[in-house]
Structure 1
Amino acid sequence: MPRFKFRLEAALRLAEQELENERRRLAEELNIFYHLQAACIDKEKQWQGALKGQKEAGIREPEKLGSWQVYAVSLHKQFRELQQELAVQEKVVEEQRLCVRTAHQEQEKLRKLKEKQEAAFWLKEQRREQNILDEAGQVIFIRQQEQKDYEEEDGNHYDLCDSP
């Protein structure tokens, strides 16, 4: 029984590996993004707490107001830096998604090509087998006809020989 052999099997395997690598990189970049997002949320909460502390110090302890202001400004600066890092990381994630999409398209293209070639191979194989069966049927039919003709000739020959 013949076997289908896809000539681009190595390219397909490489495309599948590339897709897996790109997905892994996307997962890593998403992990970084989520950690930055959580850090950003925490830093914003700290900054909001510092603003409340500054407000309380302005009302109850004016001598501590300066240190609360410095602390709030420092947290706000850190918060803004985290937001910028988050925006950069979001772009990195989008670029990585594009890489995953591209790798998936390449892998899908090769997979579909393999399916089409395999279907064409099996169709050709079925036709070849059908032709063999048709030829075998024709040979059997011809032999039966020849046998029948031979028997008819042989019967006629005996008839001629039997007459006095």
Structure 2
Amino acid sequence: MPEEIAEAATDVVGVLTEQIETRFGMDLDRLKAAVAAAPAANRDATDIVRWHGLLTESQAALDRAEDALVAALQTQPSEVDDPTMDLAHRVNAAVTTRDGRALVVRWLLDPNAPGKQGLAADRLARLNRGTHKGPAVQTSAPRRPATEPATASRTGRAVQR
């Protein structure tokens, strides 16, 4: 049974990999090399390669979590202990992460996906045109000059006159 589950999971990554290769007309290794050489040349390719990498990382994490759970379950008596339940929760979280990343890759591959046409797509394109280096608003308090005189409210003492 665990082999069937692993095969099905690998199929998710395999199917998406095949779709990527079909869309760009080259194998994934060549696409990765092309994106590494010129990341700004094709934003779609860059995004897909990035998310495919995240997907394969999450699949590897899921495989490790499943292996650990299977090993723990093989040593358990009839009741499952807390550490083994924690492993089961880790598997569930890894499945959720992998599936979420697979959905992103599928969305990136689908030119007719919701949000890729119309007003939402126009807004997204405008956001992507600018290169944002940091947050749009200041996130920390401005620094005060060291020479600013202390006031009563800052020192907590009454001003004597």
* TM-score, structure 1 normalization: 0.41
Structure showing the higher helix proportion among its residues: 1
**Structure with max Cα Rg:** 1
* TM-score, structure 2 normalization: 0.41
